Structure 1
Amino acid sequence: MTSPADLSHAVLLRVADFLRTLPADQLAALADGSARLQLAATGATAATRDRPAGAPVGTRATGRTAKTAPALSVDPERVRADLAAIDDRTAAGRYLDDLRLTVPQLKALARQLGIAVPSRATKPDVRRDIVQWTVGRRLDSSAISRPAPAG
């Protein structure tokens, strides 16, 4: 399967399978343009290569298992609602800072909010991405859809 048409077909099938798993609100956000799909390397190739034969995925040659997501000390739905009520990127950033989450917790929060972040992202990167996808996109959309001033 090396032709671009075959590869495209295989990718579209995987995307369709993924989209079937999304809740209605996330599908609606994709449809109206307030959310987007983003390509991110999963690292599955390296994990598979380092895994001993017959070992479960997530186990490397050292015998250690992959880290599990840290427990969140905040309710992601509450954070989503709070960020939806904020109309300023700076205030949204301060709100996230006030939660005093560690980098792994902030990444877990981003995942819970449906925001993809790179595995090597720093705390400011994750914070910026959460603010952009929860507050910034809404503000950008509002500014773009605002009618031009009469004049």
Structure 2
Amino acid sequence: MTDPADLAHAVLLRVAEFVRTLPVDRIAALADGTAKLAVVDRARPAARSAAAPASAGVDADRVRTDLAAIGDRAAGTRYLADLKLTVVKLRALARELGIAVPSKAKKADIEHDILQWTVGRRLDSAAVSRPPALRS
């Protein structure tokens, strides 16, 4: 098939099949222009992986809520360890939580940053704002 009209027809049929499988909110976003379809060359997987950052694989809102309820850094450290996240997934979790981590940070550094910005800052703030002990 070398006729441009035939190629265009075949492509439109494949796009229609794909769009039909999308959730309604995604179709609405395409219709109103807030989302777009992209052509991804399968011959270049590196370009595709760079465009789509990894997911943490856990619910970041749940992690944020759980860490907010934890009363000390040691318990927070155990909580993060129990998630058994790889460095890539920890980076993704930090990104989803809005926490910047250095590009060369190791696993322990990323865990420390996540804990500092969730549990640690709250504990530090509580300690600073605590009234001084009364002297007898």
**Normalised by the size of structure 1, how large is the TM-score?**
0.56
SS at match of 2:126: helix
Q: Is the 8 A contact 1:110 1:126 kept in 2?
A: yes
Residue 56 of structure 2 aligns with an amino acid whose one-letter code is: L
Provide the identity percentage: 58
Q: Report what 1:100 is aligned to.
A: 84
Q: How does 1:1-151 map onto structure 2 within 5 Å?
A: 64-65=46-47, 67=50, 68-151=52-135
Q: Write the distance in 1 (CA, Å) between the matches of 2:58 and 2:46.
A: 29
SS at match of 1:105: helix
Which protein is richer in helix relative to its size? 2
Over 3 Å counting, the alpha-carbon distance change for 1:144 and 1:71 in structure 2 is same
Runs of 4+ more than 4 Å apart: none
Residue 138 of structure 1 aligns with an amino acid whose one-letter code is: R
Q: Is the 8 A contact 1:69 1:104 kept in 2?
A: no
Residue 94 of structure 1 aligns with an amino acid whose one-letter code is: R
Question: C-alpha deviations, 1:99-129, integer Å up to 9, x for none?
Answer: 0111011001001111000111100000000
Q: Is the 8 A contact 1:87 1:135 kept in 2?
A: yes
Q: Report what 1:30 is aligned to.
A: none
Residue 92 of structure 1 aligns with an amino acid whose one-letter code is: G
Deviation of the 1:71 alpha carbon: 2.6
Q: Report what 2:10 is aligned to.
A: none
RMSD (CA atoms): 1.7
Count of equivalent residues:
90
